[in-house]
Amino acid sequence: MRILGIETSCDETGVALVDERDGLLAHSVYSQASLHADYGGVVPELASRDHIRKTLPLIHQIMSDSATGPQDITGVAYTAGPGLMGALLVGASIARSLAWAWRIPALGVHHMEGHLVAPMLEDHAPEPPFVALLISGGHTLLVKVPAYGRYELLGESLDDAVGEAFDKTAKLLGLEYPGGPLLAELATKGQPDRFQFPRPMTNRPGLDFSFSGLKTFVANTVSKQAKDPQTRADIALAFEQAVIDTLTIKCRRALDHTGLNTLVVAGGVSANQQLRIALRKMADDLNAEVFYPRPIFCTDNGAMIAYAGLLRLMTGQADDLSIQAKPRWSLMDLPQISPK
Ligand code: KG4
Ligand code: ZN
């Protein structure tokens, strides 16, 4: 099979072609970040309008880059949720209509399943069973994955997602949206140990997270301190360290509880270099292995959606002619992937 993948759930238009035998053939991501930066966050109406402009030209581009004609494509996968309703509808409508015109199956994919399978696009791919830490702008999930398509919730954020906490903290420090990568950059100039921030919910049992208190702690610190560049960098580092420690403690606990020795980390925040270093060290201590997507496939992209669609379309799973868009949709509600 050869699958066209389309991602439009938030502020990235991502498209890709993934082949069952030859792997990733072509992909392209257009980020709307600069469009939303003036507003300090994603403006849903602007996001939808931009997806409308960009999606078909990007599909045309990857098809010509990989010398793929419509007759070579055997299925279309698109992000059906969770995400912004208007943005989802753009990708879903285009995907469903192309599949109808080309007389091939279409499938609405869960965005977080896309993130979860992104490390499978690498040469050295993880094999279930494993524990997955999914950390994006909208979600923080720790799940046990006995097989692709079977997800057991171990823990989740009770309030802000990790990426959201990075973005809000970055805003407090005067950085542009999306601030996560900019905060990480600023933290490289910070001096360690000047500020100590809490590691929320780590000193009691359980695998849930809470990041909104940490953000408030930063807000209070920012308001009391001078706003010189060094202080801002020191605060950025203390925040990043608190988040990394918290995630590392919970991942270690999840591996201990499940008795598994493979950890998969995906979603936008998994691009964070210091987090990768800390999780790798923790995994080494436990004799466990940790897998990440390459940085471009940590954040939203079409390749992960094409791949997640391929896994399901290969087993004969497909949607009817209705256009699927579910702004809220639990990963735990997905049907299993059963071999054909
Ligand atoms: O997965 P993603 O592209 O979109 C969602 O599904 O939400 O994740 C985006 C999030 C944003 O909050 C962004 O600030 C964060 O990932 N992010 C990072 C880094 N790169 C992206 N956070 C911390 N460090 C980074 N290097
Ligand atoms: Zn995402």
Same domain, 145 and 232: yes
Residue 225, domain extent: 129-292
Residues 50/13, Cβ–Cβ less than 8 Å: yes
Minimum-distance ligand 1 atom for the alpha carbon of 272: 26
Identify the pLDDT of residue 213. 94
Q: How far is the CA of 269 from the centre of ligand 2 (A)?
A: 9
Same domain, 96 and 159: no
CA–CA gap between residue 10 and residue 5 (Å, rounded): 15
CA–CA gap between residue 74 and residue 104 (Å, rounded): 6
Residues 4/306, Cβ–Cβ less than 8 Å: yes
Q: Is residue 122 part of a domain?
A: no
Q: Is residue 187 part of a domain?
A: yes
Same domain, 111 and 154: no
Q: How far is the CA of 293 from the centre of ligand 1 (A)?
A: 13
If you average pLDDT over every residue of the chain, what do you get?
97
CA–CA gap between residue 162 and residue 201 (Å, rounded): 14
Identity of residue 79: T
Same domain, 288 and 306: no
Please identify which residue in the block is written with the tokens 């994955």. Answer: 145
Same domain, 265 and 139: yes
Identify the pLDDT of residue 338. 82
Same domain, 143 and 254: yes
Residues 73/26, Cβ–Cβ less than 8 Å: no
Tally of CA atoms within 13 A in the half-sphere of 46 that contains its CB: 13
Same domain, 186 and 171: yes
Which neighbouring-strand residues pair with 264?
Answer: 132, 291
Same domain, 135 and 273: yes
Identify the pLDDT of residue 13. 98
Identity of residue 160: D
Which two tokens mark 215? 């953000």
Q: How far is the CA of 282 from the centre of ligand 1 (A)?
A: 22
**339 has pLDDT over 90:** no
Same domain, 203 and 157: yes
Q: How many domains does one find in the chain? A: 2
pTM of the complete model beyond 0.85: yes
Q: Is residue 173 part of a domain?
A: yes
Residues near ligand 1 with C-beta < 6 Å? 10, 136-138, 163, 166-167, 178, 180-181, 184, 267-269, 271-272, 299-300
Same domain, 150 and 281: yes
φ, ψ dihedrals at 178, nearest 5°:
-85, 125
Q: How far is the CA of 94 from the centre of ligand 2 (A)?
A: 20
CA–CA gap between residue 118 and residue 114 (Å, rounded): 6
Identify the pLDDT of residue 226. 87
Q: Report the candidate in 237, 300, 245 with the shortest Cα–Cα distance to residue 278.
A: 245
**328 has pLDDT over 80:** yes
Q: How far is the CA of 162 from the centre of ligand 1 (A)?
A: 8
Q: How far is the CA of 181 from the centre of ligand 1 (A)?
A: 7
Q: Is residue 340 part of a domain?
A: no
Identify the pLDDT of residue 270. 98
Minimum-distance ligand 1 atom for the alpha carbon of 12: 3
Q: What is the CATH number of the domain that holds 45?
A: 3.30.420.40
Minimum CA distance residue for ligand 1 atom 16: 268
Please identify which residue in the block is written with the tokens 């919730």. Answer: 153
Same domain, 113 and 137: no
CA–CA gap between residue 330 and residue 316 (Å, rounded): 22
Q: Is residue 246 part of a domain?
A: yes
Please state the rounded mean pLDDT for residues 67-89.
98
Q: Is residue 216 part of a domain?
A: yes
Q: How far is the CA of 71 from the centre of ligand 1 (A)?
A: 36
Identify the nearest ligand to the CA of 267 by its number. Answer: 1
CA–CA gap between residue 267 and residue 298 (Å, rounded): 5
Q: Report the candidate in 268, 295, 307 with the shortest Cα–Cα distance to residue 15.
A: 307
Q: Is residue 124 part of a domain?
A: no
Same domain, 83 and 202: no
Q: Is residue 339 part of a domain?
A: no
Please identify which residue in the block is written with the tokens 């990043």. Answer: 240
Which of 116, 299, 300, 331 to mutate for ligand 1's pocket (most ligand atoms within 8 Å of CB)?
299
Which of 176, 269, 279, 331 to mutate for ligand 1's pocket (most ligand atoms within 8 Å of CB)?
269
Identify the nearest ligand to the CA of 165 by its number. Answer: 1
- Strand residues in 162-313 grouped as ranges (E): 262-266, 289-291
Which two tokens mark 184? 């990480």
Read off the pLDDT of residues 230-284 as tens digits, 9 standing for 90 and up: 999 999 999 999 999 999 999 999 999 999 999 999 999 999 999 999 999 999 9
Read off the pLDDT of residues 115-163 as tens digits, 9 standing for 90 and up: 999 999 999 999 999 999 999 999 999 999 999 999 999 999 999 999 9
**340 has pLDDT over 80:** no
CA–CA gap between residue 79 and residue 294 (Å, rounded): 20
